[in-house]
Protein backbone atom coordinates (compact mmCIF):
# COMPACT_ATOMS: atom_id res chain seq x y z
CA UNK A 1 0.00 0.00 0.00
CA UNK A 2 3.00 2.28 -0.31
CA UNK A 3 2.34 5.48 -2.18
CA UNK A 4 5.46 6.70 -4.02
CA UNK A 5 4.69 10.24 -2.86
CA UNK A 6 4.54 9.24 0.80
CA UNK A 7 7.11 10.89 3.01
CA UNK A 8 8.65 9.02 5.93
CA UNK A 9 10.44 10.78 8.78
CA UNK A 10 13.79 9.35 9.82
CA UNK A 11 15.17 10.53 13.15
CA UNK A 12 17.91 8.95 15.24
CA UNK A 13 20.35 9.76 17.98
CA UNK A 14 24.09 9.05 17.85
CA UNK A 15 23.56 5.31 18.47
CA UNK A 16 21.25 5.08 15.45
CA UNK A 17 23.36 7.26 13.17
CA UNK A 18 25.04 4.45 11.22
CA UNK A 19 21.82 2.45 10.89
CA UNK A 20 20.01 5.50 9.52
CA UNK A 21 22.04 5.49 6.29
CA UNK A 22 21.01 1.90 5.51
CA UNK A 23 17.37 2.57 6.33
CA UNK A 24 17.34 5.73 4.22
CA UNK A 25 18.64 3.76 1.25
CA UNK A 26 16.06 0.99 1.82
CA UNK A 27 13.09 3.34 2.17
CA UNK A 28 14.16 5.32 -0.89
CA UNK A 29 14.37 2.08 -2.88
CA UNK A 30 10.83 1.27 -1.69
CA UNK A 31 9.66 4.54 -3.24
CA UNK A 32 9.39 6.76 -0.19
CA UNK A 33 10.54 10.34 0.14
CA UNK A 34 12.64 10.82 3.27
CA UNK A 35 12.44 13.68 5.73
CA UNK A 36 15.75 13.26 7.58
CA UNK A 37 15.62 15.04 10.93
CA UNK A 38 19.06 13.89 12.06
CA UNK A 39 21.25 13.38 13.79
CA UNK A 40 23.96 13.86 11.21
CA UNK A 41 27.00 12.51 13.04
CA UNK A 42 28.29 10.30 15.85
CA UNK A 43 28.48 13.09 18.46
CA UNK A 44 26.30 12.45 21.51
CA UNK A 45 22.84 14.03 21.36
CA UNK A 46 19.62 13.71 23.37
CA UNK A 47 17.13 11.22 21.90
CA UNK A 48 13.97 13.06 23.09
CA UNK A 49 14.86 16.00 20.85
CA UNK A 50 14.73 13.73 17.81
CA UNK A 51 11.58 11.84 18.83
CA UNK A 52 9.88 15.18 19.52
CA UNK A 53 10.95 16.59 16.15
CA UNK A 54 9.53 13.52 14.39
CA UNK A 55 6.23 13.78 16.27
CA UNK A 56 6.02 17.49 15.45
CA UNK A 57 6.60 16.82 11.74
CA UNK A 58 3.85 14.21 11.80
CA UNK A 59 1.46 16.50 13.68
CA UNK A 60 2.12 19.18 11.05
CA UNK A 61 1.19 16.73 8.28
CA UNK A 62 4.66 16.55 6.75
CA UNK A 63 4.63 12.75 7.07
CA UNK A 64 2.25 10.05 8.22
CA UNK A 65 4.90 7.61 9.41
CA UNK A 66 8.36 7.61 10.94
CA UNK A 67 11.28 5.37 11.77
CA UNK A 68 13.24 6.23 14.90
CA UNK A 69 16.35 4.66 16.39
CA UNK A 70 18.45 4.96 19.51
CA UNK A 71 20.65 2.42 21.30
CA UNK A 72 17.95 0.20 22.78
CA UNK A 73 14.95 1.86 21.13
CA UNK A 74 13.33 2.28 24.54
CA UNK A 75 14.10 5.97 25.01
CA UNK A 76 12.79 6.88 21.56
CA UNK A 77 9.65 4.79 22.16
CA UNK A 78 8.88 6.50 25.45
CA UNK A 79 9.53 9.97 24.03
CA UNK A 80 7.50 9.40 20.85
CA UNK A 81 4.53 7.82 22.60
CA UNK A 82 4.11 10.86 24.86
CA UNK A 83 2.70 12.67 21.82
CA UNK A 84 -0.97 12.54 20.89
CA UNK A 85 -1.66 10.48 17.78
CA UNK A 86 1.67 8.67 17.85
CA UNK A 87 1.63 4.89 18.10
CA UNK A 88 5.32 3.97 18.24
CA UNK A 89 6.25 0.29 18.25
CA UNK A 90 9.67 -0.91 19.36
CA UNK A 91 10.38 -3.98 17.25
CA UNK A 92 13.18 -6.52 17.47
CA UNK A 93 12.02 -8.77 14.65
CA UNK A 94 9.86 -8.58 11.53
CA UNK A 95 6.90 -10.43 13.03
CA UNK A 96 6.48 -7.78 15.71
CA UNK A 97 6.70 -5.05 13.07
CA UNK A 98 4.01 -6.80 11.00
CA UNK A 99 1.72 -7.23 14.01
CA UNK A 100 2.26 -3.62 15.11
CA UNK A 101 0.72 -2.57 11.80
CA UNK A 102 -2.01 -5.24 11.58
CA UNK A 103 -3.29 -4.97 15.14
CA UNK A 104 -2.08 -1.64 16.54
CA UNK A 105 -2.05 0.60 13.45
CA UNK A 106 1.42 1.71 14.55
CA UNK A 107 2.63 4.79 12.68
CA UNK A 108 6.16 4.89 14.08
CA UNK A 109 8.67 2.04 13.93
CA UNK A 110 11.39 2.17 16.57
CA UNK A 111 14.59 0.16 16.25
CA UNK A 112 17.30 -0.43 18.85
CA UNK A 113 20.50 0.08 16.88
CA UNK A 114 22.67 -1.57 19.54
CA UNK A 115 20.43 -4.60 20.10
CA UNK A 116 19.59 -5.78 16.58
CA UNK A 117 21.72 -6.20 13.48
CA UNK A 118 21.17 -4.12 10.32
CA UNK A 119 19.60 -7.03 8.41
CA UNK A 120 16.99 -7.52 11.13
CA UNK A 121 16.34 -3.78 11.18
CA UNK A 122 15.75 -3.85 7.41
CA UNK A 123 13.42 -6.84 7.77
CA UNK A 124 11.42 -4.85 10.34
CA UNK A 125 11.19 -1.88 7.96
CA UNK A 126 10.09 -4.15 5.11
CA UNK A 127 7.35 -5.72 7.26
CA UNK A 128 6.22 -2.40 8.74
CA UNK A 129 5.89 -0.63 5.40
CA UNK A 130 4.23 -3.47 3.50
CA UNK A 131 1.57 -4.38 6.08
CA UNK A 132 -1.82 -2.71 6.38
CA UNK A 133 -3.94 -2.19 9.48
CA UNK A 134 -6.48 -5.04 9.67
CA UNK A 135 -9.17 -2.86 11.28
CA UNK A 136 -12.21 -4.91 12.33
CA UNK A 137 -12.00 -5.89 16.00
CA UNK A 138 -8.79 -3.89 16.34
CA UNK A 139 -10.42 -0.51 15.66
CA UNK A 140 -12.03 -0.20 19.10
CA UNK A 141 -8.77 -1.19 20.77
CA UNK A 142 -6.73 1.35 18.86
CA UNK A 143 -9.35 4.01 19.61
CA UNK A 144 -8.79 3.36 23.31
CA UNK A 145 -5.14 4.36 22.87
CA UNK A 146 -6.20 7.97 22.31
| pLDDT, tens digit (0-9, with 9 covering 90-100), for 21-36 | 999 999 999 999 999 9
What does the alpha-carbon distance between residue 95 and residue 57 come to, in Å, rounded to a whole number? 27
Q: pLDDT at position 5, please?
A: 66
- What is the C-alpha R_g of the chain? 14
Contact between 142 and 107 (Cβ < 8 Å):
no
What does the alpha-carbon distance between residue 109 and residue 66 come to, in Å, rounded to a whole number? 6
Across the range 76-93, mean pLDDT stands at 97
Q: Which residues contact 64 (CB under 8 A, 6 or more apart)?
A: 6, 7, 58, 107
Q: Is the pLDDT of residue 46 over 90?
A: yes
Catalytic positions are 70, 103
Q: Is the pLDDT of residue 3 over 80?
A: no
What does the alpha-carbon distance between residue 129 and residue 64 come to, in Å, rounded to a whole number? 12
Q: Is the pLDDT of residue 65 over 60?
A: yes
> Cα 19 to chain center, whole Å?
13
Q: pLDDT at position 25, please?
A: 97
Amino acid sequence: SSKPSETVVLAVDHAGFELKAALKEQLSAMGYAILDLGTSGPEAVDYPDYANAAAKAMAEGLAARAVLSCGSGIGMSIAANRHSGIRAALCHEAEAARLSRQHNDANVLVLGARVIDPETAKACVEAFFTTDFEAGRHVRRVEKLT
